[in-house]
Amino acid sequence: MDLREHFDRAVDDDPGADPGVMAQAAIVRGGQVRRRRRQVAGAAGGVLAVLGIVAGLNLPSQAEPEVTVAAAMRPAAAASCTVDPVEKDATDVALLLTEDASAREKSELAAALDQDPRVGTVLFESRAAAYEKFRQLWADSPDFVASVSLQQLPESFRVRLADPARFTAFERDFARRDGVQDIVGRVCPVSAAVGGVR
């Protein structure tokens, strides 16, 4: 039996009821229910947003956060640099290489960086050097260190730009080159390590 049949039966059982009045009352009540549902949904959404913001804060918690390999691979910012990567005006850049970057690709990248007038200083970090830094950084988590192999850490070029205003163009140009997996820019003082990483 559908809703219309229920309504007709209810009206038939009450001889004094005016179907038009009953229909209007049902419409009004339905509108109130819908508004109430939206309010509850809005309040629930607000609560979830607040919980998300609180969770996003680095508040101390009882349980240690799970460390993932992907999070550990992200170059740790030098203490005096911006923690999060920036999209413009970076002073320092880390060019992370693909796992299978060939010797030819690395050589071509090194030559391009040496010849680029936007580059002030460039250093190369081998996989072995990256792994040693990783081991030192995560020394208090030996099980995690044991779960990551040397091959999982990328080689990289660390760059200090001559002019931070040219970072956007630099990033665009080098992101297209063979062997480059990711480019991470940070704002650092001159005293920071080249590339803005530990």
| Measured CA distances, 72 to 13, 15, 19, 51 (Å) | 72, 75, 69, 25
The pTM of the full predicted model, rounded to 2 decimals, is 0.61
Q: Which domain holds residue 49?
A: 3-56
73 close to 144: Cβ distance less than 8 angstroms: no
164 close to 187: Cβ distance less than 8 angstroms: yes
Which amino acid appears at position 6 of this protein? H
Report the CATH number that the domain containing residue 153 is assigned in CATH. 3.30.70.3040
pLDDT at 73: 58
Tell whether 47 and 127 lie within a shared domain: no
Does the residue 52 lie in any domain?
yes
Cα angle 70, 106, 92 (rounded to 5 degrees) comes to 60
Tell whether 84 and 156 lie within a shared domain: yes
| Measured CA distances, 52 to 15, 44, 48, 64, 188 (Å) | 55, 12, 6, 18, 30
Tell whether 90 and 116 lie within a shared domain: yes
Cα–Cα distance for residue pair 25/21, rounded to 1 Å: 6
Tell whether 78 and 171 lie within a shared domain: yes
> Residue 39: is it exposed, middle or buried by C-beta count within 10 angstroms (0-12/13-18/19+)?
exposed
Which amino acid appears at position 48 of this protein? L
Cα–Cα distance for residue pair 198/179, rounded to 1 Å: 23
Tell whether 32 and 74 lie within a shared domain: no
Tell whether 39 and 80 lie within a shared domain: no
Tell whether 145 and 48 lie within a shared domain: no
pLDDT at 9: 63
Does the residue 31 lie in any domain?
yes
Does the residue 198 lie in any domain?
no
Average pLDDT, 10 consecutive residues per value, the chain (198 residues): 59 54 53 51 44 44 45 70 93 94 97 97 93 90 90 93 96 96 94 85
pLDDT at 113: 97
Does the residue 192 lie in any domain?
no
116 close to 159: Cβ distance less than 8 angstroms: no
Tell whether 165 and 74 lie within a shared domain: yes
Tell whether 45 and 127 lie within a shared domain: no
Does the residue 191 lie in any domain?
no
Instruction: Give the SS3 label for residue 41.
Output: helix
Tell whether 25 and 119 lie within a shared domain: no
Identify each DSSP E strand in 49-179 by its residue range: 92-97, 119-125, 156-161
pLDDT at 39: 54
Does the residue 195 lie in any domain?
no
Tell whether 44 and 85 lie within a shared domain: no
Does the residue 77 lie in any domain?
yes
Tell whether 76 and 159 lie within a shared domain: yes
Torsion of CA 103, 105, 110, 115, to 10 degrees: 140
Among residues 86, 103, 102, 90, the alpha carbon closest in space to that of 194 is found at: 90
pLDDT at 77: 80
